[in-house]
Amino acid sequence: MNQSESEHYMDLALEEARAAGLIGEVPIGAVIVHDGQVVGRGHNLREHSQDSTLHAEILAIQEACMTLGSWRLEDCDLYVTLEPCPMCAGAMINSRIRRCYYGAPDPKAGAAGTLVDLLSDQRFNHQVEVVAGLKQAEAAGLLQNFFRGIRAKRKAAKKARQEGSA
């Protein structure tokens, strides 16, 4: 996999992340690639679904399993804009993902090296190769803008409440 190819797939994951942001979800996106084809994609849908399991990676893995007709995603690479949490890292181990490219590290829940390192733990029956920091600035920027927007909205709402009760 050369640099421009992996950047292209991360661009698709960033597109997914922006799709999440547009509907008010934390902007995280993922795609899965098999033999040069995108076989699964997903973006965070936790709030719209009110389902805690619907992270970008889980949706992408479920779609890839359906596309390939198998729970074994053995020659598949997963691209995700934010370092996976334990649930999503565990799902990658369970589905035998070959390689995980991620954008920004996650200091709060990162399970691919930041808080724990599940993907390279030799005690599990599969290890996932990790490439960290691909298009990190862009992935982190999306998240920063999203949370900045939320804080601005909260501040404006508070100001409006204070003015209303004055």
What is the identity of the amino acid at 119?
A: L
Q: Is the dihedral of CA 56, 58, 62, 67 positive or negative?
A: positive
Position among 17, 28, 32, 73 found at the interface with a second copy (CB under 8 A): 73
What is the identity of the amino acid at 57?
A: E
- Judged by beta carbon, residue 6 or residue 59, the one nearer a second copy is 59
- Judged by beta carbon, residue 16 or residue 63, the one nearer a second copy is 63
Crossing angle of helices 56-68/3-22, nearest 10°?
A: 120
Minimum distance from residue 56 beta carbon to a second copy (Å): 13
Question: Residue 111 half-sphere exposure, CB side, CA atoms within 13 Å?
Answer: 16
* 66 is an interface residue for a second copy by CB under 8 A: yes
Number of H helices, E strands in the chain: 5, 5
- Judged by beta carbon, residue 30 or residue 135, the one nearer a second copy is 30
Alpha helices in the chain (DSSP H): 3-22, 46-49, 56-68, 86-94, 136-164
* 112 is an interface residue for a second copy by CB under 8 A: no
* 12 is an interface residue for a second copy by CB under 8 A: no
CA gap 161, 149 in Å, rounded: 18
Minimum distance from residue 159 beta carbon to a second copy (Å): 28
Of 93-101, 127-135, 144-152, 158-166, the window that binds a second copy (rule: CB under 8 A) is: 93-101
Q: Which residues bind a second copy (CB under 8 A)?
A: 46-47, 49-53, 55, 58, 61-62, 65-66, 69-73, 85-91, 93-96, 108-109, 111, 115-116, 118, 121, 123-125
List, as residue ranges, the binding site for Zn(2+).
55, 85, 88
